[in-house]
Structure 1
Amino acid sequence: MLKTKDTSELLKIKNGTVVSPKGFLAAGVHAGLRYSKNDLGIILSEVPANSAAVYTQSHFQAAPLKVTQESINQAGMLQAIIVNSAVANACTGEKGLQDAYEMRAHCARKFQLAEHHVAVASTGVIGEYLEMEKIRDGIDQLKPSSQNNQAENFGQAILTTDTVMKTSCYELNIDEKKVIIGGAAKGSGMIHPNMGTMLSFITTDAKIDSDSLHTVLKDITNTTFNQITVDGETSTNDMVIVMANGLAENQTLNENHPQWSQFKLGLQKVAEELAKQIAKDGEGATKLIEVKVTGAKTVNEANIVAKKIVGSNLVKTAVYGADANWGRIVGVIGHSDVSLQPELVEIYLEDTCLFKENSPQAYSEETATAALKKEQVNILVHLKNGDASGKAWGCDLTYDYVKINASYRT
């Protein structure tokens, strides 16, 4: 385990997974929805866990989201999340909704759970029906365990056009009890969340009340998953779920707990790392872009500017071509709906000032080009109009993005 720079009390678990927190199991199998790769997975808690979720704000919410919302709304608790890839089960009408209910019911029967303690998630092609016989047979094959290889099987089962699995895990001390937070996510295209990201699952053995868990998830989502963009497209299936089973046996966490800020920081770190990994793995991407905006009037305005910059196709293509065309950044800031004074704005590429006092600045093209050729490109914008700051993450736009999405269904 490695200490992070944020605090000596927060430890990053280098090979941690969603089964690192006490009492969590996982599994993944090939049910036949895809040609050969794992396509069905489960996260299972040994006991019912207080749970919270955020969902896409698309008008076309997929059937699994509706079933999951019903499960969580009934008692605020989950014990399992059953997930399939290949087929999104979105825009599939009444049959799709009944298939999602059957997916939940069969999982509950298999693992002897209450139906409302099961969440359902799907990802893949929109407008196709699930092959329910394969889903049922796949659920019957699942053998969850606390071993990391099963967490890896789960991580593989939720991928679509992703090229890598996304994981993050941190340990902290609450009430002299070891508390672990682990996460897994998928997402590569259709990433421009208006609530969360494609699919993200976070587990923790912390004891926390449901209302506080919902509040902290919503707050953290706004500064992590909501601050990434790959292609400006919001999915029908975006969802983030957090399960907290309390097996660490700390005193119940809420906003009045003396170590609340430490827990929130741990959850923030896991969510931010997952979000950045999704942005970096954008379809066809070669670089991660991080934009930090300071000196805004409000955090919301800082976040708006940062996300508009990483979401600009002109900025994204300039980064791909290693072209330090700061005019594209100026253009984005100029049409953002925020308060600013143009003569105060400064734009930096790492430590190199490109624009200041509403005028171009002398800089080395070689230095700027070198910065743009790195795996992570850092853009800093000073608005000098307040004390608030914000960040956003995205990726470059390449020829491969077009190739991938021109033949997605084939």
Structure 2
Amino acid sequence: MKKIQRAVSRTVVGSALVLGAAACSDQFLTVTNPNVIDAATVDPASGSATLALSAQQNFATAYGWLAMYGGWFTGEVNVSDTFPTRNEFGFRTISDLNGSLNTDVWAPISLAIASAKTVLDLDLPTPTTNINLARAATFRGFAILQMASDFCTGTLSSGAELTTTQLLDSASFWLTRGVDVGKANASADGIALSNAALVGRARAKLQKGDNAGAAADAALVPSGFEYNMRYTDDANSRTRLSNRLYQFSFDRGSISVAPWYRQNDPRVPSRAPGSGTAGPQDAVPGGFYQQAKFTGYASNIRLASKLEADYIAAEASANVATQLALIAARRSANGLAAYAGATDAASVKTELYNQRAMEFFLEGKRVADFRRSPASVVSITAAGQPYFKPGYANTGTQTCYPLPRAERDNNPNTAGK
């Protein structure tokens, strides 16, 4: 056994990397740390599978945070939490000094992006078919896509401030690599990653306004496809490894299903006040409606699916008949009466978005919907209207999150801007 001389100078990865080292010495007051690795003993290439899985887990952790904060921001759920910083998301007036913005939202998604890059920067064998590169590219792409969807601007690896369009282009670049390498790998895992990346790229193109490209990608997704982020019930690491939406429903009653979503639709199950397994962390006018979509710490959260591809294709088509056909099919599949509203283009698109809202409730997609077509998102509180809780400002005009001040202050390429 030898004494550890220095800490790892490489990018820190998540808990998927098992840290271990031992040291002994007869020197007086020598202290060793079993959780510090000698950088000289680490071969990143040989550990690329662990690094890639860690990047995937970093994304899974961030995805739960973004789904919850996006739910508050777009009115999927009411903020039954006392934190003023979380209520800022609810009434859409988020300060760039907001600590939750930086710690809960920005930092996790930035870590997911950076840790995937660690793998992609390695000189790995068979790069055109390497499953670890397929995994890292796919989750770097999805992480950048979430940043592009939820933040007004973003940065990658302490680089310059990027616009939404630039972020979407970057997401598409990495998702394309995920599509190609995963497909060429040809294993079941590789094909699943490839199809997930294909859905992500279709989403990015739709968000950018490339309807033809979005429809083309969506058409390639196989029938019945679904890719879920998996979580575990680990009592020692629930903030990292467990389902965030369940944790903040049960451990901390912070999310209450908003009134618009209480439509007896099987896609958005909830428990009425008094019938749930926990009460609200903060009083909620009208009662606390606990979400019942995610029923445990180990509940999956859907990331990509053929169902989403169908919605992307229908929206991208801008064809009323195509959209009405999907609306009819989804309402019927969920035991709902046929759509009986107006059939002009704007009304049908709104109904398509209403169905999307139910399908992908608390799956981190609603902020993108709101930014892409705000007139079609009728479930959100209009700017200037009172917040549902007394004692707070009226609802603001934000449609996306600001870059945190901490990023501006610490990133040399954004400092002072």
Q: Which category of TM-score, normalised to the shorter sequence, fits these structures?
A: under 0.3
Higher share in strand: 1
Q: TM-score, normalised by structure 1?
A: 0.28
